Amino acid sequence: MKLMVEVEVLDTVCRHINDHMVTFYARAPGGWDIEYGTDGMLVDENYYTFEEITEESSWGHSHEGAEPLAAFEVPSESGAVS
């Protein structure tokens, strides 16, 4: 079965600093933002040491002009999200 769904891509592609994953966000039909990614770092938990990351990405992820999550908007009396 092949399922085709239109989704809105919300921001630019980026590479994360902590796990080196390349990702983008898309808005799901229910109003939630979902982050899709690939090419992440393989972590060996026996040798990995954690560190505090203070930056979101090496490059990308411009959230400029991003709309709030539709899932958090209050529905109008007609049931439509405003």
Q: What is the pTM of this model?
A: 0.59
The pLDDT of residue 47 is above 60: yes
Could you give the C-alpha distances from 9 to 14, 29, 33, 58, 66, in angstroms and in order?
13, 12, 9, 20, 11
Q: Which residue has the higher pLDDT, 6 or 14?
A: 14
Work out the percent of the chain whose per-residue pLDDT is above 70. 70
Q: What angle do CA 18, 20, 25 make, to 5 degrees?
A: 95
Q: What is the mean pLDDT of residues 29-49?
A: 86
